[in-house]
Structure 1
Amino acid sequence: MSEQAKKVLIVEDYQAAAETFVELLEMLGCEAEYVMSGADARAAVAEQDYAIVFMDLNLPDISGLALVNELRDSLAAERMPRFVAVSGFAQADIATENRAAFDFYLEKPLDIGRLDHILQAS
């Protein structure tokens, strides 16, 4: 990773999971924050530039897929983060349109090696 910390956003509706995810990302050298709804994610992405957005696929107010598609349509190319789907389902069980909409896929429980790989590739 570069010397400047990557700014990342976690969109996760389960607070304990989000806080643990923040701690993991900070240990890996990122500047991380989280929001717990699609509405808060829209506001955060409108205000900040993120290198990566980790998106839970099942949010209370919108699906992760719908939100990523909306953000991809609304953001300028130079502000476009990498989107990582985060789900408790195995990647093979995720619908093809979900896999196509995201740059990476991360399965819960989080694997620190896979997470580091995604950070290095972004």
Structure 2
Amino acid sequence: MKPKILVVEDNEANMVLLRDILAIIGSEVLEATTGQEGLRLAREEKPQLILMDIQLPDIDGITLTRLLKQDPATSHIPIIAVTSYAYEKEKDLFSQAGGDGYLTKPIEIESLLKVVTQFIRGEKIHVGEAQNTSSR
């Protein structure tokens, strides 16, 4: 069975990149370009994993993560931030909202695949362990 992954990302180029990377592991990719759409898809489709941008046009990714983690229907779904925000404040806020992992852009293909594969297998890692270590 293909892993179902929801990508909440408003930048088209980043969405295409994430979709192509996730195709490498045979994932079914659900796409949302707004927080509201991400909320709806998470509730309806129950993906195995959510990749969440922090900066979205309506609901920010931290607020959306909090909403999803407070909802019993979606609270079990791991959420990994994939964002250009590399500041400790955002990492802390994401973690406090219930986020499960944090990768910074630019996206490193190997790092993303490793983290996604770990979560799909049910291997839990902490927010700090999922960080992309590339320099910007």
TM-score of the pair, normalised by structure 2:
0.78
2:14 is the counterpart of 1:27 = no
| Structure 1 residue 92, shift from structure 2 partner | 3.8
**Distance in 1 between residues matched to 2:6 and 2:89, nearest whole Å:** 25
One-letter code of the match for 2:117?
Q
Instruction: Please tell me whether residue 116 in structure 1 is matched to residue 118 in structure 2.
Output: no
Name which of structure 1's ranges 89-98 and 61-70 shifts more when overlaid on structure 2.
89-98
**Contact 2:91 / 2:102 at 8 angstroms: preserved in 1?**
no
Please say if residues 91 and 105 of structure 1, whose CA atoms lie closer than 8 Å, have aligned partners that are also in contact. Answer: no
71 and 114 in structure 1: CA distance in 2 versus 1, 3 angstrom threshold: same
Pair 1:80-2:83 in alignment: no
| Structure-2 residue corresponding to 1:98 | 94
Find the partner of 1:71 among 53, 68, 71.
Answer: 68
Unaligned runs of 5+ in 2: 120-136
Which segment is superposed worse, 31-40 or 91-100?
A: 91-100
- The 4+ residue runs of structure 1 with deviation greater than 6 A are none
TM normalised by structure 1 equals 0.86
RMSD: 1.8
1:95 Cα deviation (Å)? 4.3
Q: Number of paired residues?
A: 118
| Partner residue in 2 for 1:42 | 39
Q: Which amino acid in 2 is paired with 1:97? A: L
Please list every run of 5 or more consecutive structure 1 residues that lacks an aligned counterpart in the other structure: none
Please tell me the residue identity of whatever aligns with 1:87.
T
Letter in 1 for 2:65: V
